[in-house]
Structure 1
Amino acid sequence: MTYRTPRRRFLSLTSGLAVAAAASAPRAAAAAQHGGTWLIRDVRVFDGRRTRGRGSVLVAGGRIAAFNGGPAPRSARVYDGGGRTLLPGLIDCHVHTFDGSLADSVRFGVTTELEMFGDPAALPDARRRRRSTGPSERADLWSAGAGVTVPGGHPLQPGHDFPRVTEGTDIERFVADRVAEGSDFIKVILEDGGPPPRPSLPTLTGEQVRRVIAAAHRHRRRAVVHAEKLRLALAAVRAGADGLAHAFWDVHATAEDIAEFRRAGAFVIPTLSVVDWGHGAERLLADDRVEPWLSATQRYLLQQEPPDRPGRPDFLGIGSANVGRLHTAGVPILAGTDAPIRANVGGASMLIEVEHLVRAGLSPAAALAAATAEPARRFGLADRGRIAPGLRADLLLVDGDPTTDITDLRAIAAIWKNGHLIDRTPAD
């Protein structure tokens, strides 16, 4: 089925923040004309960790120049942020990219994405782009490149060839090859099959997992493990994993299990959106604050009904309960969607994922931190994730206050990437 979205002019941002992207101008040129030096005043600021009250933020040269630092230069454009909240651009900690997905993501305030399995050929360009502070209409990308798995193991991708670990593989060399390809971190697949009737799968041995993680650390790379079952997640952190790419939703963790995760210090990226049976997608499609800005590709993906919905209807409840207990125990929680898996899409589905985190027990501020400052800290992204002088001006302006009502995050008024205003008009 083909969907067509009419071309729209950019959303008016009320008095003092009224901007329009000319429909006939190239998108990059439209973004460039709103760069330079500018100030947003009288805006509520969530700095990635906490709300700082109302104030002003000055941007120059693609970076945050000052927060409440006095008057702006006379030449600066001034925006009025009254009634709105300014946040750092969002960081989605679990995606898989494809043509156009990075552009779709940035139009919903996701300015950085961490790819958990992708094409190594794309890594050099991604590294070059994320160093720039010039106009960009794509999210920046960090990637694991090819993940570490075994022949016949997850992911099952007929027609896609990538290196796999066998019994005789030199693990040190295997990891060194991924680093040479440009992998920013190492993704380890520990998956022995889905719940019935999905088949069992071969997977890495415990010793192989331990050796891969140790090799990653020797190469100064983080090791993030795909493990959707509690027993496999425990095996991963016992082997030294830095983080888990999913929550575990097969059984409720015991108090002893939660304590072991806390002692290990590994972070968890719950990806609860992949087990909500498409209900989050339905909410996005029904929301007038979201639906008009979806591209045809996003709309198509959100309407999918995959035949292999993972497991049982209670997986979301079990996973959410585990996430809530992990958070209460002090285990770092990071936001990620696993887009475009199972009716999730880049950008828009992050709006649902942070809502899932709030339902799981995080405060709205903690859920926002899980999508901004916390990922930047855990993945070493030193130039983003917070609103502070010297950091990259990846910024998201929303109507209302998502630190008290997380659904206000859907009411996007403006997005800046590298200090340049993003045209939210979806590509036809």
Structure 2
Amino acid sequence: MGGGMRILTIGLTVLALLAAGIWAAFFRWPGALVSASVEPAVLISDVRLVSMSPGAAEVELHKDVLVLDGVIVAIADHGGLDGDPRVASALRVDASGQTLLPGLIDAHVHVWDVPELAAYLAHGVTTVRNVSGLEVHLRWAERIEHGALLGPTLLTTGPILNSPGPNAQQNHVLVMTQDEARAAVRRQHEQGFEHLKVYSNLTEDAYRGVLEEARALGMTVSGHTPEGVREPGIPLERDFLIPFLSVLDDGFLTIEHTESIVWHGLRDRLNAERMEVLAQEMAMAGAVVTPTLIAHDNLVRVAESDGAYLERDGVASMNPLYVKVDAGVYDFWSRQDPAFREEVRRQFYQRATGMMHEAGVTLIAGTDAGIFTNLPGRAMTRELELLVLSGLTPYEALQAATVTPAGVFGLDDRGVIAPGMRGDLLLVSGDPLSDVSSVEYPAAVMANGVWLDQDALNRLEAASYQGSLPRSVLNALPVLLGTQ
């Protein structure tokens, strides 16, 4: 009996060790993200300040910025805080020759697993809006806000609401009727979501149900503008069942993708005169647009390179489950000739974005990061570059990634550098107002008061490559089972 018990004990111990090893290898989050402490006091000294504060100069030279317990408390000329007792024990950062901006806000991402969050911080993005949510995102968001998980502030919509059609995907909640749509909205509200995302194939009946229930529950609506059922002849021979202009009065928080606006608003006609008129109509309606120019631009880059662009530095931050699921898409675009159709579209989408900006449409920067080959964190720099190519100045492009989305999302504690604001900061070498690309590799980042120097950013970059296929499958289980 004693020998049998010893064998059983040894066996259970081995199983426990194996289970612990499997958990550590495949399910435990990278150590760089487990937790971090807010620095009690940080003095950023002699910095070039791009505060984004309304009425402030675009750049202010030789400034000192003091942050206490994660809150900006003072901004002064260099040396002006030397006698302040609050700086006596502060971490002093010599930022001469560097530029300080508010932390960047990516208004359109897809997060599949925790390591991807590290990539955003590593590249200066301190707030993200996930636009295809599951309940796990709500749990991650809460842990981040309470300091138990290091990551950018995580805003999230609920699961995408759509109807069956050519754009329906596995991670969509499909509804056809007003009653089904209302029930789906109520379910997301009960789960804790405050924001909804809708998609292009929603039927008119379902769309009205979403809007009415969202208004009743105080939820926001963003997404692709719904088109209704795509009957034969739509859009080349006749307009969509839900015309684009009719959606402009429906109170969208944000409309996603310039290319979707061209598809729905112009019926896929690359007509500059009509786009100019449409941009003016959108501006009068108060539309807010997330252009996500990088989404199409990266398709073209893959095609131009015969797929080599899929192997560039940083692609290891892409989620391994998503990469497996999208393998066929990668192969398709690697074999396309961009000169046949897509290059002219790339140019038109940039031009259309410039027209919207000139007309006064509010633009916010989003990257579609986490899908196709849009790299978490790094994609923000590519999007800013594309906004500049579209006609925005570097300062205007950076506004679209800081103060403007902060206002759109009601985040009144960030987006500018001013006393009383949250310590979400981005320190970069060089001058992003002359070269917006300089934001890609920060010298340091502050995320809700946590100071991340170059060594910490390097650890976060490494952590972003530690995606786990088993953990990602577990995260996506509601989608795989169709219970989202």
Question: Within 2, Cα distance between the matches of 1:383 and 1:81?
Answer: 24
Question: Within 2, Cα distance between the matches of 1:94 and 1:117?
Answer: 9
Question: Within 1, Cα distance between the matches of 2:283 and 2:64?
Answer: 38
Q: Is the 8 A contact 1:224 1:245 kept in 2?
A: yes
Q: Is the 8 A contact 2:198 2:226 kept in 1?
A: no
2:475 counterpart residue number: none
- Show structure 1 runs of 5+ residues with no match: 1-24, 191-202
| Residue in structure 1 matching 2:159, options 146, 151, 173 | 146
2:316 counterpart residue number: 296
2:386 counterpart residue number: 356
1:186 counterpart residue number: 196
| Residue in structure 2 matching 1:103, options 97, 108, 118 | 118
TM-score by length of 2: 0.71
State the AA in 1 paired with 2:282. F
Question: Within 2, Cα distance between the matches of 1:168 and 1:242?
Answer: 21
Question: Within 1, Cα distance between the matches of 2:149 and 2:366?
Answer: 22
| Residue in structure 1 matching 2:41, options 29, 34, 37 | 37
Q: How does 1:58-69 map to 2 (within 5 A)?
A: 58-68=66-76
1:268 counterpart residue number: 289
Report the more deviating stretch, 77-86 or 238-247: 238-247
1:243 counterpart residue number: 254
- Structure 2 residue matching 1:366: 3-state secondary structure: helix
- Structure 1 residue matching 2:39: 3-state secondary structure: coil
Q: 1:242 to 1:417 in 2, by over 3 A?
A: closer
Pairing 1:81–2:95 present: yes
Question: Within 1, Cα distance between the matches of 2:178 and 2:36?
Answer: 52
- Structure 1 residue matching 2:119: 3-state secondary structure: helix
- Structure 1 residue matching 2:342: 3-state secondary structure: coil
Residues 231-253 of structure 1: CA distance to partner in whole angstroms, max 9, x if unpaired? Answer: 76434314332320111343344
Question: Within 2, Cα distance between the matches of 1:305 and 1:357?
Answer: 25
Q: Is the 8 A contact 2:423 2:447 kept in 1?
A: yes
TM-fit CA distance, 1:127: 3.2
- Structure 2 residue matching 1:412: 3-state secondary structure: coil
Q: 1:62 to 1:141 in 2, by over 3 A?
A: same
Question: Within 2, Cα distance between the matches of 1:80 and 1:139?
Answer: 25
- Structure 2 residue matching 1:339: 3-state secondary structure: coil
TM-fit CA distance, 1:205: 2.5
| Residue in structure 2 matching 1:369, options 395, 399, 408 | 399
Residues 274-302 of structure 1: CA distance to partner in whole angstroms, max 9, x if unpaired? Answer: 1113567899x99xxx95xx473349979
State the AA in 2 paired with 1:114. R
Question: Within 2, Cα distance between the matches of 1:148 and 1:26?
Answer: 35
State the AA in 2 paired with 1:57. V
Question: Within 1, Cα distance between the matches of 2:154 and 2:438?
Answer: 26
Pairing 1:70–2:51 present: no
Pairing 1:316–2:346 present: yes
TM-fit CA distance, 1:90: 0.8
Question: Within 1, Cα distance between the matches of 2:32 and 2:160?
Answer: 34
Report the more deviating stretch, 317-326 or 405-414: 405-414
State the AA in 1 paired with 2:350. S
Report the more deviating stretch, 142-151 or 166-175: 166-175
Pairing 1:124–2:135 present: no
Pairing 1:57–2:55 present: no
Question: Within 2, Cα distance between the matches of 1:280 and 1:420?
Answer: 36
- Give the structure with the higher percent helix: 2
Give the number of equivalent residue pairs.
380
Q: Is the 8 A contact 2:112 2:370 kept in 1?
A: no
Q: How does 1:108-257 map to 2 (within 5 A)?
A: 108-130=123-145, 132=146, 134=147, 137-152=150-165, 154-157=167-170, 160=171, 163-167=173-177, 169-190=179-200, 203-227=201-225, 233-247=244-258, 248-249=261-262, 250=268, 251-252=270-271, 253-257=274-278
TM-fit CA distance, 1:177: 2.0
State the AA in 1 paired with 2:247. A
TM-fit CA distance, 1:351: 0.6
Q: 1:136 to 1:124 in 2, by over 3 A?
A: closer
Question: Within 2, Cα distance between the matches of 1:221 and 1:419?
Answer: 29
TM-fit CA distance, 1:138: 1.4
1:194 counterpart residue number: none
Question: Within 1, Cα distance between the matches of 2:42 and 2:99?
Answer: 17
TM-score by length of 1: 0.79
TM-fit CA distance, 1:153: 5.6
- Structure 1 residue matching 2:96: 3-state secondary structure: coil
TM-fit CA distance, 1:393: 0.8
Q: Is the 8 A contact 1:280 1:352 kept in 2?
A: no
Question: Within 1, Cα distance between the matches of 2:224 and 2:109?
Answer: 13
- Structure 2 residue matching 1:328: 3-state secondary structure: helix
State the AA in 2 paired with 1:244. I
Q: 1:135 to 1:45 in 2, by over 3 A?
A: farther
- Structure 1 residue matching 2:160: 3-state secondary structure: coil
Q: 1:153 to 1:143 in 2, by over 3 A?
A: farther
* Identity across matched positions, percent: 33
TM-fit CA distance, 1:106: 1.2
TM-fit CA distance, 1:316: 1.7
Q: Name the Cα RMSD after superposition.
A: 3.2
Q: Is the 8 A contact 2:137 2:156 kept in 1?
A: no
2:472 counterpart residue number: none
- Structure 2 residue matching 1:424: 3-state secondary structure: helix
Q: Is the 8 A contact 2:42 2:68 kept in 1?
A: yes
Residues 98-146 of structure 1: CA distance to partner in whole angstroms, max 9, x if unpaired? Answer: 112111211111111101112133313313422x3x4853112111121
